[in-house]
Structure 1
Amino acid sequence: MHYHRLAHLNRQEVRIDELTIHSFEMGVYLVEVVFDSRKGFIVDDDNRPQQFQSVEQVKQALTECVVRQGFLVHQSAYDEMCGGPEKVDNTLCVAVHLGRNGD
């Protein structure tokens, strides 16, 4: 599995093809990027997924690079109810602008 570090991504010459912010319970956000034809999560110095506390924190961490397209993705855990229909895909995917404009 590939991974990326903020120090290598947040540079003016870097062009990220796609960035996905995965939103989880308790205000945890993990970031997955496609850069240099490699898809992987941003990791910390211990090679663990870098945790962010908000979308704004992700934006602030990536102000120098160009992000061609970005998305915020969230899957709700509250779609199952007793006696309700079978679980369906309830993924919410919203386009977001991050980094410098890739146009």
Structure 2
Amino acid sequence: MLPTAARRSLAGLIPPKIATPGAVSSGTTSARTAQVIDFYSKLPKGPKPSSERAGGLRGRYFEGKNASGKPILATVGILFLIGYTIDYNMHLKHHKSGHH
């Protein structure tokens, strides 16, 4: 990956520069510092509100008052049945050519 591509992909993750020499030397009344303070004051504070619920299977089975482990148990059971069926059919093919 080119350095410029990496820089572009990370641009959204890196916050704006706060302590630039121009912003620090001019005190807290500079326009740049005011913009930074305004930017950070608009960010949400604290934990995620409980009204926002995760969607899909995660929201339905693993979060909230209906949280349970049934999907995990169902997945394990289905995988067991599929594995058993494959093993049984392979065993039948083994007996097809002759008894052991």
In the superposition, the TM-score normalised over structure 1's length comes to 0.18
Bigger relative contact order, structure 1 or 2 (CA pairs below 8 A, ≥6 apart):
1
Higher-helix-fraction structure: 2
More strand by share: 1
* Larger-Rg structure: 2
